[in-house]
């Protein structure tokens, strides 16, 4: 009996469920591919599609609407277009392109749509956010007041990077642009900053090298790698930086601190130009379409330090741009320089002369970073900026003739020391304490007479030495405070002792290299 009534109940419940289903007709718009070539598909028959809407092609391939005409749409393909034929069906999704966000992305290598490239499992996404999101308004922002420590002395001391700042890394081919950004990422292993590295249009091997380096030297579990290499569809390369920002914003909006590196925007601009020409947008200067400035401005505007009310998170951007023969006044470089809050200019001549990182101190600038610099470092670096600038000028004047003036000679030797101190091999990032100690020692003359080889050894041994010989300066620096004169003297004395241990023979060479 009981089983009969159970069956009757089940039957009634199923019946009710079936009754609830409304079998009303549903309107579905199906468009048609008219023409497909070069990663662009021209589509007819989808009048309701919005700009940037995700479209689904035959076989589940995707694309998004880039240009809307009265009768047709130009869509950029996000997958290989070879399998899409003219005449095949397309449907709209009613949704703009979205990417997965959340902590599940940390430690992963993904393409710009969040599909894994590292042979791991599918991304465990917390949510999906649109790739194009509005930048925070002025009222939602706070002043940039804390630094992102890159561990590169020349950057931290002279062109400090603030949390929420956008600083362009710009230079010719193979001048160490990626290396500067990579060192900054690696150095975050000692901080709470999450890193997002976006590779656009690069060789797969170059990207591999960056990922390997972070795995070896940095904290890969706090990094996201978004890769659209040179062989990826142009559409994927186009959305890559936007997707990277969306993934980074998830953490920013929850009070986290994020550093995003875009490697590089010159290639992104070229992809944008290619797509614009293919969709018949009128070309402007250097054949770029008129909206290229707006494209990068709206992207980089999303970097911000949020107000305390919104959690106080920050998103710092390090976009990279390539120049041709050092020409900073070409179209894309000038655009990017005017959008960002400063630039680190890398010079191929310095790079060839083995000054690495090859930062051109005269052309580089950080427009907001000084305020965010650690007070102790600001104190210590004030002197070298001037000394170094004077030295570079003197060096030019004294290149051809011997100099007899003693004062100028000491200035030249001091300048050489600054130059030696500012060159730094890759993956040898310095802590704040080490940087302040080196600058204090330099100001005190404790490094005078050290050969460049000894300087390298000194820098290697310094962290362990300072940890073993604790001074009060370490505490003050950890607390983010200024140092007194006696702290500077103590630090300089510590470095002097270490320098004395390294190689007494080297110290005989008191004149430094011949200018």
Q: Work out how close the CB of 376 gets to ligand ATP at its nearest, in angstroms, rounded to a whole number.
A: 24
Three-state DSSP class for residue 370? helix
What residues act catalytically?
A: 367
Residues that bind ligand ATP (CB under 6 A): 171, 173-179, 322, 356-357, 424-426
Nearest to 372 by CA among 302, 305, 441: 305
Identify which of residues 268 and 356 has a Cβ nearer to ligand ATP in the complex. Answer: 356
Three-state DSSP class for residue 323? coil
Q: What is the C-alpha separation between 154 and 159, in angstroms, rounded?
A: 7
- The item of Mg ion, ligand ATP, none sharing an interface with residue 426, based on CB under 5 to 8 Å by kind, is ligand ATP
Q: Work out how close the CB of 161 gets to ligand ATP at its nearest, in angstroms, rounded to a whole number.
A: 17
Strand runs labelled E in 236-340: 257-263, 304-305, 314-322
- DSSP characters over 129-167: EESS-PPPPGGGB----SEEP-S-HHHHHHS-EETT-B-
Tokens at 160, concatenated: 């400090």
Q: Work out how close the CB of 371 gets to Mg ion at its nearest, in angstroms, rounded to a whole number.
A: 29
Q: What is the C-alpha separation between 414 and 512, in angstroms, rounded?
A: 9
Q: What is the C-alpha separation between 35 and 225, in angstroms, rounded?
A: 34
Nearest residue to Mg ion, scored by beta-carbon proximity = 178
Identify which of residues 174 and 478 has a Cβ nearer to ligand ATP in the complex. Answer: 174
Q: What is the C-alpha separation between 379 and 483, in angstroms, rounded?
A: 8
Q: Work out how close the CB of 36 gets to ligand ATP at its nearest, in angstroms, rounded to a whole number.
A: 32
Identify which of residues 66 and 213 has a Cβ nearer to ligand ATP in the complex. Answer: 213
Decide: residue 46, CB within 10 A, 0-12 exposed, 13-18 middle, 19+ buried.
buried
Residues that bind Mg ion (CB under 5 A): 178
Tokens at 468, concatenated: 């073993």
Q: Work out how close the CB of 262 gets to Mg ion at its nearest, in angstroms, rounded to a whole number.
A: 11
- The item of Mg ion, ligand ATP, none sharing an interface with residue 357, based on CB under 5 to 8 Å by kind, is ligand ATP
Q: What angle do the packed helices 177-187 and 204-217 form, to 10 degrees?
A: 30
Identify which of residues 424 and 451 has a Cβ nearer to ligand ATP in the complex. Answer: 424
Q: Work out how close the CB of 169 gets to ligand ATP at its nearest, in angstroms, rounded to a whole number.
A: 9
- The item of ligand ATP, Mg ion, none sharing an interface with residue 173, based on CB under 5 to 8 Å by kind, is ligand ATP
Torsion sign over Cα 406, 408, 412, 417: positive
- The item of Mg ion, ligand ATP, none sharing an interface with residue 484, based on CB under 5 to 8 Å by kind, is none
Identify which of residues 178 and 271 has a Cβ nearer to ligand ATP in the complex. Answer: 178
- The item of ligand ATP, Mg ion, none sharing an interface with residue 373, based on CB under 5 to 8 Å by kind, is none
Q: What is the C-alpha separation between 425 and 500, in angstroms, rounded?
A: 23
Q: What is the C-alpha separation between 40 and 42, in angstroms, rounded?
A: 7
Identify which of residues 84 and 346 has a Cβ nearer to ligand ATP in the complex. Answer: 346
- The item of Mg ion, ligand ATP, none sharing an interface with residue 176, based on CB under 5 to 8 Å by kind, is ligand ATP
Query: How far does Cα 151 stand from its chain's mean position?
Result: 15
């Amino acid at each position: 009996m009981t089983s009969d009534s159970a069956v009757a109940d089940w039957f009634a419940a199923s019946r009710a469920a079936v009754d609830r289903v409304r079998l009303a007709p549903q309107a579905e718009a199906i468009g048609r591919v008219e023409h497909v070539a070069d990663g662009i598909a021209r589509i007819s028959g989808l009048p309701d599609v919005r700009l940037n809407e995700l479209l689904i092609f035959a076989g589940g391939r995707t694309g998004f609407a880039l240009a809307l005409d009265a009768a047709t749409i130009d869509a950029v393909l996000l997958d290989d277009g070879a399998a899409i034929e003219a005449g095949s069906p397309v449907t709209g999704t009613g949704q703009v392109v979205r990417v997965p966000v959340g902590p599940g992305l940390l430690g992963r290598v993904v393409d710009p749509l969040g599909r894994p490239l590292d042979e791991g499992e599918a991304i465990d996404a917390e949510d999906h956010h649109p790739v194009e999101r509005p930048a925070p308004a002025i009222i939602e922002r706070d002043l940039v007041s804390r630094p992102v420590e890159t561990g590169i002395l020349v950057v931290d001391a002279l062109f400090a990077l603030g949390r929420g700042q956008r600083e362009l890394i710009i230079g010719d081919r193979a001048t160490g642009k990626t290396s500067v950004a990579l060192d900054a990422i690696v150095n975050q292993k000692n901080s709470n900053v999450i890193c997002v590295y976006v590779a656009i249009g690069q060789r797969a091997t170059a990207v591999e090298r960056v990922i390997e380096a972070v795995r070896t030297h940095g904290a890969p579990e706090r990094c996201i790698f978004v890769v659209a290499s040179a062989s990826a569809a142009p559409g994927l390369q186009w959305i890559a930086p936007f997707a990277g920002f969306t993934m980074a914003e998830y953490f920013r909006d929850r009070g986290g601190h994020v550093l995003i590196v875009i490697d590089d925007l010159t290639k992104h601009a070229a992809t944008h130009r290619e797509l614009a020409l293919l969709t018949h947008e009128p070309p402007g200067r250097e054949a770029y379409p008129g909206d290229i400035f707006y494209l990068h401005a709206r992207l980089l505007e999303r970097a911000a330090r949020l107000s305390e009310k919104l959690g106080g998170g920050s998103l710092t951007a390090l976009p990279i741009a390539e120049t041709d023969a050092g020409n900073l006044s070409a179209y894309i470089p000038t655009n990017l320089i005017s959008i960002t809050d400063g630039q680190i200019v890398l010079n191929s001549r310095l790079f060839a002369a083995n000054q690495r990182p090859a930062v051109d101190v005269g052309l580089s600038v950080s427009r907001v970073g000084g305020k965010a610099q650690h007070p102790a470092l600001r104190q210590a670096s004030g002197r070298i900026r001037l000394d170094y600038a004077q030295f570079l000028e003197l060096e030019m004047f004294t290149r051809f003739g011997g100099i007899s003036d003693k004062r100028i000679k000491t200035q030249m030797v001091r300048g050489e020391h600054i130059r030696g101190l500012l060159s730094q091999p890759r993956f040898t990032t310095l802590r704040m304490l080490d940087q302040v100690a080196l600058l204090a020692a330099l100001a005190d003359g404790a490094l005078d007479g050290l050969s460049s080889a000894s300087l390298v050894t000194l820098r290697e041994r310094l962290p362990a030495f300072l940890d073993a010989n604790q001074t009060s300066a370490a505490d003050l620096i950890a607390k983010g405070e200024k140092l007194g004169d006696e702290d500077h003297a103590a630090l300089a004395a510590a470095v002097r002792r270490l320098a004395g241990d390294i190689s007494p023979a080297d110290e005989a060479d008191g004149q430094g290299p011949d200018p």
